[in-house]
Structure 1
C-alpha cells in the first residue's frame, strides 16, 4: 500500500510547494528592480552557504553542528526520498544513503528539541516551538518507510493500518518541511535563505576577508524616483527576499545596544514587521520580544501602504528607526546575512528627504551642515584656530605631501583638539611629511548620510572630492573612524578613490618601521574599546592593540570586545535624534569597562571619547591612543650621535597597499 501512497503524497506535496513558491516570488517581486547574475548567483550558493554563512553560525559550535546535521540531513533526505520512493529507484546504495541521511537529520532534530525545551528569550516561540516535532516526524517516517525498500524488513511488512499511520506522520513532516517552506511556516527561511545568498544585495560581501559596509548612493538626478523607502514595495525585490530569510534566532536582538538600553528598537522585530508589510496584515502573530515599551498587535501595514504613518499606526513608529546607532552589531551577528542597517537608513532617507521629519536636533544639525559645512554651526574659517601655535603645513601652500591629515569636525571640539595635537606630535616625531587642508576641509558627510539626508551628504562629498583632486598625496590619515569609513568606502561611488588610514593603523606602521620609540608604560590597568566604524565596518581590530602592546600595555579585554564590541551610542546620529530609553548606552559600556577593573580605557574615536567621558561617576579615565603614544614618545637610541645624523638615518615612509 505504501508503494501507492508514497508517490502520491510526495508529488502532491511538491506540487503544492511549487504553487507556494510562485506565490512567495510574487510577494518579493513587488519590490523595485535590482539586477542580479542569475546563473552565477545560483552557482555561488554552495560556497556561500558552507563557508560564509557557516562562518557566522559556527560561533555557536553546538548549534553549528546541529544545523549541519539537521539541514544537511534534510536536504539529502528530501532529494533521495523523491528518487527512492517517488520514482522507485531504491536499487543500489540510494536507499542506504537515504537511511543514513534521515537518521542524521533525526539526531540533529533531537538537539533542536533540547534547545527548544527552555529557549533563551531571544528565540521566537509560537510556531517555532512545533518545529522539533515536525523535524522528528519527517526524519522518522522517512527512515521507517525506507527500511522495506533496502530489504531490512519484508516489502509486505505490516498492514494497511501501519501504512496509513506512517503516511500520516509523513504528511505531518512533509507539511512543515516542504509545504511550509514555500507557504510561510518556520521552514520558510530555508527556501528564502538559499535564494537570498544567491541574489544578495551585497554580493561583494562574500569571500574570505571581503567586506561591504558602505551605504549605497541614491540617484538624486532621477526626478521620478522615490527618495528612500516609504512603503515595503519601495525596497528592492532582493531586500524583500532577504527579510523573508530571517530565522528569528534573535542574535541581532541580543547584540543591539538600543534594545539593551530599552529604546523602542528590536532588529528582529523590525525585519518581521517588513515581512508583515510585504504580505499585508498585522504583527499580532509575532511570537518574539517586542520593541521595548510597545506591545505586540498594535501595528499593521500593506505592501503599498506607508511603513511609518504621519498619523495613526502603521508598520513601524518613527522612533524605532531613529533609535538605531548604525553600529552593525545586528548585521555582524546575523547567520542569514541580512542587512538591517541598509533598510533602516533607506527608511530614514524618506522621512528626512520627503517629509523633513528628523527628530530633536536633527533639523538644526542638517541646517548647520548646509550653511557652515560642519554640524555644530561654527564659522568655517575657525577650523584651524586650535592649531595656531603649531604652524601646520597647508596643502594649499605645499601642493603635495606624503600624508594628508584629515582633521574632521573634532577640530571644533576642545576635547578632541587634545587628540589632534597629540597626533601631530607623533607625526612630527616620526618625521612624516604631512599637510592639512585647513579651512578647505569640510565635514565628511557621515552624519548627514546616517540621518538620511543623502542630498547634503553628496553635496559635501563632491565638494571635498573636488578639493582633494587639486593636490597630490599617498594616503589620508585621520583619527575619526567615521571619516575614515566614509572617505575610504563611500566616496568611491561619487568618484573619490583614496587610500585611507586610521591613525592607530598608521602609528602601528610607523612603529614597525622603526620610526617611533616609546618609554615603558608606568600606568595602571588598561582596557580598549573597539569603535564600531573601525572594527565591524572595516575589520581593524589588531592595529590599536599592537600599538598598546608596543607601549608595554597588557590590555584587559572586555567581555564585549572585537567584533562583538558594544557600541558607545554615538553613531548614526543617535546623540542628535536622542530617543529616550530605560538607560544610556554609554553607561552600559562604561559598566563593561568597570568589570575589567581597568583604570583607563583606550579609545580611537572622537565620538567614543565624548560618549564615554559623558558618563557620570565613570570608574576609568578615557584617553585616545594618540594621547597615550604622544606621552610615551622618547628619542631614538641613536639620538646621542647627533640630531643631524638621526635625521639622515631615519627610514623613509613606505607605501602600504
Structure 2
C-alpha cells in the first residue's frame, strides 16, 4: 500500500510546492525592478549558505550544530526520498543514505524541541512552536517507511492500518516541510532564504575568501535626476523585489531584537517586528497573527496595510508608525546579528527618505537641522567662517596654501563643539609630534552630509557631498584622516557613487601606523583601569576593532572589555540622527552604555568618536571619565621630533609611499 501512496503523496506535495513558489515569486515581483545576475547568483548560493550565512549562525555553537543536523538532514532526506520512494530507486546505497539522513534530521529536531520547551523571549511563538513536531514527523515517517526498502523489515510488514498511519505521518511532515516552504509557515524561510542569498541586494557582502565575510555598509544613492524614480519608499511596492524577498526570508529568531539599542531602551522599535510588518504589507492584511515581541508600548493587532497602501499614514491605521522609523540609531547591530543577512537599516532609511523628501515630516529638531545644513553647511547653524576659530593659535596649514600634502586632516563638525575641539587639538599635537605632512581645508570644508542622509534628506546630502568633492578635486593628497567615524564612513564608502574616491583613515588606525613605524614614543600608563567603547560607524560599519586597542596597548593600557564589545558593542545612541529626532523611551541608550562601563569597574572609558563622547559624557552620575584616544596619546607623548611642524619632504614616506596619492 505504501508503495502506491508514497509516490502520490510526494508528487502532490511537489506540485503544490511549485504552485506556491509561483505565488510567492509574484508577491516579490510586486516590488520595483532590480538588476541581479540570476545564474551567477544561483551558482553562488551554496557557498553563500555554507560559508557566509553559517559564519553568522556559528556564533551560537549549539544552534549552529542543530541547524547543520536539521537543515542538512532535511535537504539530503528530501532529495533521497524523491529518488527512493518517488522514483522507486531503493536499490544499493540510496536507501541506506536516506535512513542516515532522516536519522540525522531527527537528532537535530530533538535539539529544536528542547530549545522550544522554554524559548527565550526573542523567539517568535505561534506556528513556530509546532515546528519541532513537524520536523520529527517528517524525519521519523521517512525513516519508518524506508526500513522495508532496505530489507530491515519485510516488504509486507504491518497491516493497512499501519500503512495509513505511516502515510499520515509522512503527509504531516511533507505538508510542513515542502508545501509550507512556499505557501507560508515556519519553513517559508528555507525557500525565501535560499533565493535571498542568491539575489541579495548587497552581493558584495559575501566573502571571496574562506572564513571571512565581506563588508558593504554604504547607503545606496537615489537618482535625483530621474523624475520617474521614487523619492524613498511610500508603500511596500516601492521596495525593490529582492528587498521584499529579503523580508520574506526572516526566520523570526529575534537576534536583531536582542541587540537593538532602541528596543532595549523601550522606544517603539523592534527590527524583527518591522520586517514582519513589511511581509504583511507585501501580502496585505494586519499584524494580528504576529506571535513575537511587539514594538514597546504598542500592542499587536493595531497595524495593517497593503502592497500599494502607505506604510506610514498621516491618519488612520498603517503598517508602521513614523516614530518607529525615527527610533533607529542606524547602528547596524540588527544587520550584523541577522543569520539571514537581511538589510534592516537600508529599509528604514528608504522609508525615512519618503517622509522627509515628500512630506517634510522629520520630527522634533530634524527640520531645523536640515535647514541649517542647507543655509550654513553645518547642522548647528553656526557661521561657516567660524570653523577655524578654535585653532587660531595653532597656525594650521591650509590646503589652499599648500596645494599638495601627504595627509588631509578632516575636522568634521566637531570643530564647532568645545568638547571635541580638545580632541582635535590633541590630534594635531600627535601629528606634529610624528612629523606628519598635513593640512586642513579650513573654511572650505563643509559638513560631510552624514546626518542629512540618515535623516532621509538625500538631496541635501548629495548637494553637500558634491560640493566637498569639487573642493577636494582642487588639491592633491595621499589620504584623509579624521577623528569622526561618521565622516570617515561617508567619505570612504558613500562619496564613491558620486565620484569621490579617497583613501580615508580613522585617527586611531593612523596613530597605530605611526607608532608601528617608530614615529611616536609614549610614557607608560600609570593611571587607573580603562575600558574601550567601540563606535558603531568604526566597528560594525567598517570592521575596525583592533587599531584602537593596539594604540591603547602601545600606551601600556590593559583594556577591561565590556560584555558587549567588538561587533556586539552597544550603541551610544548618537547615530542616525537619533539625538535630533529624540523619540522617548523608558530609558536612555547612553545610560545603558554607561551601565555597561560601570559593570567593568573601569575608571575611564576610551572612545574614538565625537558623538560617542558627547552622548556618554551626558550621562548623569557617571562613574567613569570619558576621553578620546587622541587625548590619551597626546598626554603620553615623550618628545616631538625636530623640524618644522606639519611639514617635511620625507616625514611620512615610512608610513605610506607618496606614489600612492589619491586625489
User: Is 2:23 the counterpart of 1:19?
Assistant: no
Corresponding residue of 1:654? 655
Q: 1:648 to 1:607 in 2, by over 3 A?
A: closer
- Which runs of no fewer than 5 residues in structure 1 stay unpaired? none
User: Is 2:580 the counterpart of 1:581?
Assistant: no
Map 1:237-386 → 2, pairs under 5 A: 237-386=241-390
SS at match of 1:388: helix
Q: Is the 8 A contact 1:180 1:187 kept in 2?
A: yes
Deviation digits for residues 530-561 of structure 1 (CA, Å, limit 9, x no counterpart): 00000000000000000000000000000000
Q: How many residues align?
A: 651
Q: Is the 8 A contact 1:259 1:266 kept in 2?
A: yes
Map 1:569-648 → 2, pairs under 5 A: 569-635=573-639
Paired with 1:193 and 1:449, the residues of 2 have a C-alpha distance of: 29
Q: CA deviation at 1:635?
A: 2.1
Q: CA deviation at 1:654?
A: 2.5
Map 1:347-496 → 2, pairs under 5 A: 347-496=351-500
User: Is 2:133 the counterpart of 1:133?
Assistant: yes
- Which runs of no fewer than 5 residues in structure 2 stay unpaired? none
Paired with 1:342 and 1:283, the residues of 2 have a C-alpha distance of: 22
Instruction: Normalising by structure 2, report the TM-score.
Output: 0.97
Q: Is the 8 A contact 1:520 1:551 kept in 2?
A: yes
SS at match of 1:139: helix
Q: 1:152 to 1:303 in 2, by over 3 A?
A: same
Corresponding residue of 2:232? 228
Deviation digits for residues 253-291 of structure 1 (CA, Å, limit 9, x no counterpart): 000000000000000000000000000000000000000
SS at match of 1:402: strand
User: Is 2:128 the counterpart of 1:124?
Assistant: no
Map 1:75-90 → 2, pairs under 5 A: 75-90=75-90
Paired with 1:648 and 1:454, the residues of 2 have a C-alpha distance of: 41
Deviation digits for residues 563-582 of structure 1 (CA, Å, limit 9, x no counterpart): 00000000000000000000
Paired with 2:225 and 2:180, the residues of 1 have a C-alpha distance of: 43
Q: Is the 8 A contact 2:447 2:464 kept in 1?
A: yes
Paired with 2:432 and 2:150, the residues of 1 have a C-alpha distance of: 79
Q: Is the 8 A contact 1:441 1:464 kept in 2?
A: yes
Q: CA deviation at 1:462?
A: 0.2
Paired with 2:653 and 2:360, the residues of 1 have a C-alpha distance of: 51
Q: CA deviation at 1:232?
A: 0.3
Corresponding residue of 1:4? 4
Q: CA deviation at 1:226?
A: 1.3
Q: Is the 8 A contact 1:475 1:501 kept in 2?
A: yes
Corresponding residue of 2:509? 505
Corresponding residue of 2:38? 38
Paired with 2:536 and 2:651, the residues of 1 have a C-alpha distance of: 35
Q: CA deviation at 1:648?
A: 10
Q: CA deviation at 1:598?
A: 0.3
Q: Is the 8 A contact 2:437 2:652 kept in 1?
A: no
User: Is 2:183 the counterpart of 1:179?
Assistant: no
Q: CA deviation at 1:589?
A: 0.1
Paired with 2:650 and 2:276, the residues of 1 have a C-alpha distance of: 62
SS at match of 2:606: strand
Q: CA deviation at 1:145?
A: 0.3
Q: Is the 8 A contact 2:141 2:169 kept in 1?
A: yes
Map 1:525-536 → 2, pairs under 5 A: 525-536=529-540
Q: CA deviation at 1:159?
A: 1.2
Deviation digits for residues 169-220 of structure 1 (CA, Å, limit 9, x no counterpart): 0111011000111001100000000000000000000003421000000000
Q: 1:371 to 1:643 in 2, by over 3 A?
A: closer
Deviation digits for residues 358-416 of structure 1 (CA, Å, limit 9, x no counterpart): 00000000000000000000000000000000000000011010000000000000000
Paired with 1:626 and 1:297, the residues of 2 have a C-alpha distance of: 50
Q: Is the 8 A contact 2:435 2:652 kept in 1?
A: no
Q: 1:263 to 1:648 in 2, by over 3 A?
A: closer
Q: Is the 8 A contact 1:515 1:650 kept in 2?
A: no
Q: CA deviation at 1:651?
A: 6.8
Q: Is the 8 A contact 2:522 2:633 kept in 1?
A: yes
Instruction: Normalising by structure 1, report the TM-score.
Output: 0.98
Paired with 1:443 and 1:592, the residues of 2 have a C-alpha distance of: 32
SS at match of 1:44: helix
Paired with 2:221 and 2:421, the residues of 1 have a C-alpha distance of: 32
Q: CA deviation at 1:643?
A: 7.4
Map 1:143-162 → 2, pairs under 5 A: 143-162=143-162
Paired with 1:170 and 1:219, the residues of 2 have a C-alpha distance of: 52
Q: 1:290 to 1:225 in 2, by over 3 A?
A: same
